[in-house]
Structure 1
Amino acid sequence: MSAARAAIFGCTGPVLEADERAFLREADPWGFILFARNLETPEQIRALTSELRATVGRNAPILIDQEGGRVARLLPPHWTGWEDALPFVARFSPEAGAEAMRLRYHVIGTELRALGIDVNCAPMADIAQPDTHPVVRTRCYGTDAGTVAQMARAVTEGLALGGVLPILKHIPGHGRTDLDSHADLPVVHADAVTLNAEDFAPFRDLADLPMAMTAHVVYPAHDAENCATWSPKMISLIRETIGFDGLLMSDDISMHALTGTMDVRVSKALDAGCDIILHCNGERDEMAAIAAVAPRLEGDALRRAEAALAARTEVQPIDVPATLARIEDLKEAAHAR
């Protein structure tokens, strides 16, 4: 049996159409990613995740962006609502903040696994700066490397308790950007010493995580021509300086930070050293173009993909109301000081 294709694909709606099912079976992506357009009720989502795995005939990873707050694909009343991470963390002391984040993501992970979703696009190890774009800033965990690393580690621990794998993002750092890479190509003008001491530091502390997602960001101190996703220099830095040896996926290859046809975008990311291509919008023509050029996983990319899936854990039971009450107690204790 050949290895899966080096791609992660979305789908168009809450139910797979017959032609979509046939396409995904033939394309055989390594995994899938879900968005609000795919999500209605717990029963419907469980059916969809089962059907997606059935199309490829294996226990393929199914991803989602469920940070809580601004980026949350699953909302009340079926699922727990959360505020953005930056104001949430600010309500606690550092120690209590880490506990609160661990509890928060234990709840999130538990809710995801109950739906058949076993990978979350978190933690974010980007550091909030005064001029960080609003799309990124309030999702960050702090304004200094130490706090961000501590909170991000707690996020990964909470997800593991919920039986969900983490994806570290946006490596090597999206915090020092005043543009939204969904719409534009950000450029970070900090010098190499500053980047290494600050922006890259949380990613070094989390380099043992199984998966990471690149930043569509240009760092002229290292490569003035290419964003990290397309830069052999930056991918080498991620591997050697930061020390990350997990599965490295591109951020969404369809984002407007990137230009050119889909096959060119994919080839540049793979040639730079990305292991796998993430494509989110479910557009069939774009996915077909990716499937035509993205290879089957092999070599180091296959090794990393297998290691990531081997890190999947079982759900540790949690009393959600009691956990939410514990978080409120931590808030009150911090406020009383």
Structure 2
Amino acid sequence: MARAAILGCLGPTLTPGETAFLRDADPWGFILFARNVESPAQVAALVSALRETVGRRAPVLIDQEGGRVARLRPPHWRGWQPVADMIGALEEEADILEALTLRYRLIAHELHALGIDVNCAPLLDVPQPGAHDVIGNRAIGTEPAHIALRGREIAEALRAGGVLPVIKHIPGHGRGMADSHLALPSAEADAATLRAVDFLPFRALRDQALGMTAHMVYPAIDPERCATLSPEVIAVIRGEIGFDGLLMTDDLSMKALTGSFGARTRDALAAGCDVVLHCNGDPEEMRAVMAACPELSGTALARAERAEAARRAPAPFDVAAADARFAALAGAALHA
């Protein structure tokens, strides 16, 4: 049985040591970063090699929002303006929604061609004035209702392209005054404000198969622990927000978290996360994570199986027509 983890690797090919480790570790899935990317043929071969280590069609994830967060870049793949810049260049909401659909359908087409079947998008965080720009121009709007509608378009476009979306960073990272890659941020708002603003897009997309936690403290819910490690916050995610998909942590190696990797793993799973995500491919860290990581079972296993069953072949798609329509629609927001 697969174990409750998603792991990365160090380079564009697997070393013999990584192959042996991943075969024994048997993580539920894998994630790719820019260090793993050289060319389409190389990425497709790496995806196949990762799946071969566990002997099944394990989910393979990537962060391909376009813009600042993009692991696949020119010359082999399309380049994109930051999504907030694209949205800002358009006036009508109908045009924004169509542009988002085209953008993420084209992204899904590129991912599916490589065998990648999960994209860590849409980002549903509601940015706040004065917050750290770690969200910044990655945000798909400033109003919760707009973000919910646009997030739905992105999710449906990815699914139409044969790629599962991951809603992030649940229950909302838009208030952070620090970058959780480097420090632990806090959402300084009362429960009513969080409910009306930050939680709203996640509640609107609570039917999605996959979600990723925020390494952020919500003092109105739990003043001590970030969402990833907080039973109280995860109870809100499951209850008030109503998300019953597979809940993965954000990257355990981010500096928002402290303590050993074994403790991080145990605490996240005990809090209610279904799987832990470890991204940097560091072998010592991965060994510590997997030493503390159990097999998927119970509700977490059921959610993982539902997510895998939600994968579909892409719908018919005219790539040239989509490119042309995006160019005509987006104008100054044209991808590179």
Cα offset, 1:40, TM superposition? 0.4
Q: What root-mean-square deviation, in Å, do the aligned CA atoms of Structure 1 and Structure 2 show?
A: 1.3
What residue number does 2:68 align with?
70
> Number of residues paired by the alignment?
332
Aligned counterparts of 1:190 and 1:322: Cα–Cα separation in 2: 45
Matched residue, 2:54: 56
For residues 143-190 of structure 1, what are the alpha-carbon distances to aligned partners after superposition, in whole Å with 9 as ceiling and x for unaligned?
000110111101111101110001100000001112100000001111
CA distance in 2, matches of 1:318, 1:107: 9
Aligned partner of 2:16 in structure 1 is 18
Which stretches in structure 1 are left out of the alignment for 5+ residues? none
* Partner residue, 2:34: 36
> Amino acid of the residue matched to residue 314 of structure 2?
V
How far apart, CA to CA, are the structure 2 residues paired with 1:42 and 1:329? 28
* Segments ≥4 residues shifted beyond 4 Å: none
Give 1:331 deviation, angstroms.
Answer: 3.0
Equivalent residue for 2:258? 259
1: distance between equivalents of 2:13 and 2:299?
Answer: 34
- Paired letter, 2:13: V
CA contact (8 A) 1:107 1:318 kept: no
Instruction: Give the secondary structure class of the aligned counterpart of 2:250.
Output: coil
Between the two proteins, what is the percent identity of the paired residues? Answer: 58
Q: Deviations over 1:81-129 (max 9, x none)?
A: 1111111112221111111111111000010010110000001100122
AA in 1 matched with 2:66: G
Q: Secondary structure at the match of 1:7?
A: strand
Give the aligned partner of residue 5 of structure 2: 7
**What are the superposed Cα offsets for residues 243-266 of structure 1, whole Å, 9 maximum, x if unpaired?**
000000000011000000100111
For 1:37 and 1:330, locate their aligned partners in 2 and report how far apart those are by CA, in whole Å. Answer: 33
After the TM superposition, which residues 222-261 of structure 1 pair with which residues of structure 2 at under 5 Å, given as runs? 222-261=221-260
Instruction: Tell me which amino acid in the other structure corresponds to 2:254.
Output: M
- Provide the C-alpha distance between the structure 2 equivalents of 1:108 and 1:120, rounded to a whole number of angstroms: 9
Distance 1:332 1:125 in 2: 25
Q: 1:11 to 1:333 in 2, by over 3 A?
A: closer
Change in CA separation of 1:332 and 1:66 when aligned onto 2, cut-off 3 Å: closer
Note if contact 1:128-1:141 (Cα within 8 Å) is conserved in structure 2. no
Q: Which amino acid aligns with 1:194?
A: T
C-alpha distance in 2, partners of 1:54/1:78? 25
SS in 2 for 1:122: coil
Q: Residues 25-44 of structure 1, C-alpha deviation per residue, up to 9 Å, x if partnerless? A: 00000000000111101111
Counterpart residue number, 1:123: 122
Judge conservation of contact 2:7–2:30 (CA < 8 Å) in 1. Answer: yes
* TM-score, normalisation: structure 1: 0.97
Structure-2 separation of matches of 1:91 and 1:321: 22
Separation (CA, whole Å) in 2 of partners of 1:238 and 1:83: 31
In 1, the alpha carbon distance for the partners of 2:6 and 2:16 equals 19
Q: Distance in 1 between matches of 2:122 and 2:29?
A: 19
Partner of 1:296: 295
Q: Which residue pairs with 2:140 in the alignment? A: 141
| Matched residue type, 1:284 | P
Letter in 1 for 2:231: P
Structure 1 SS opposite 2:247 = strand
